[in-house]
Amino acid sequence: MLLIKRFCGGFQRINAITKGSKPGERLSVQGWIQNIRRLKKNIFFDLNDGSTMRKFQVVIPKNSDTKDIGVGSNISATGCVQTAPNGQLELHAEHVEVIADGNITEGYPFSPKQQHSPEYVREHLHLRSRVDYIAAQLRLRHRAMKAIHDYMDKLDFIQINTPVLTTNDCEGAGEVFRVQPDSADLLKEMTRPSIPIEQSYFDNKVFLSVSGQFHLEAMTYGLGNTYTLNPAFRAENCKSPIHLSEFYMYEAEIAFITNISSLTEFIEKMIKAITSRIIESSLDDLKFCQEKALGSAFDIPWLESPWITLSYDEACDIILANKEKFKTELKPAEGFSKEQELYMVEYCQAPVFVVEWPANQKPFYMKAVRSNPERVHALDLLMPGVGELCGGSLRENDEERLRALPHLPQGLEWYLELRKYGGTPTGGFGMGFERYLQLITGVKNIRDVIPFPRYPHSCKL
Report the interface residues with ligand ASN, using CB under 6 A: 170-171, 211, 213, 251, 391-392, 428-430
- The minimum distance between CB 373 and ligand ASN, in angstroms, equals 20
Long-range contacts of 401-405 (CB under 8 A, 24+ apart): 401/368, 402/364, 402/365, 405/364
- The minimum distance between CB 414 and ligand ASN, in angstroms, equals 17
Estimate to the nearest angstrom the gap between the alpha carbon of 50 and the chain centroid. Answer: 20
Identify whether the C-beta of residue 425 lies closer than 8 Å to the C-beta of residue 397. yes
Beta bridge partner(s), residue 92 = 59, 80
Q: Taking Cα atoms as reference points, which of 454, 460, 452 lies closest to residue 244?
A: 454
Pairing of strands 56-61, 74-83: unpaired
- Residue at shortest CB range from ligand ASN: 430
Identify whether the C-beta of residue 338 lies closer than 8 Å to the C-beta of residue 435. no
Which residue type sits at 239?
K
- The minimum distance between CB 391 and ligand ASN, in angstroms, equals 4
Reported residue count of the chain is 461
- C-alpha torsion angle, residues 227, 231, 232, 238 (rounded to 10): 140
Identify whether the C-beta of residue 403 lies closer than 8 Å to the C-beta of residue 396. no
For ligand ASN, the closer of residues 171 and 434 by Cβ is: 171
Identify whether the C-beta of residue 366 lies closer than 8 Å to the C-beta of residue 356. no
- The minimum distance between CB 261 and ligand ASN, in angstroms, equals 16
- The minimum distance between CB 334 and ligand ASN, in angstroms, equals 16
Phi-psi group of 180: left, alpha or beta (phi > 0 → left; psi -120 to 50 → alpha; rest → beta): beta
Beta strand spans in 234-383 (E):
246-255, 308-311, 352-358, 368-369, 372-383
Q: How far apart are CA 233 and CA 228, in angstroms?
A: 15
For ligand ASN, the closer of residues 135 and 170 by Cβ is: 170
- The minimum distance between CB 171 and ligand ASN, in angstroms, equals 5
For ligand ASN, the closer of residues 5 and 338 by Cβ is: 338
- The minimum distance between CB 253 and ligand ASN, in angstroms, equals 7
- The minimum distance between CB 179 and ligand ASN, in angstroms, equals 19
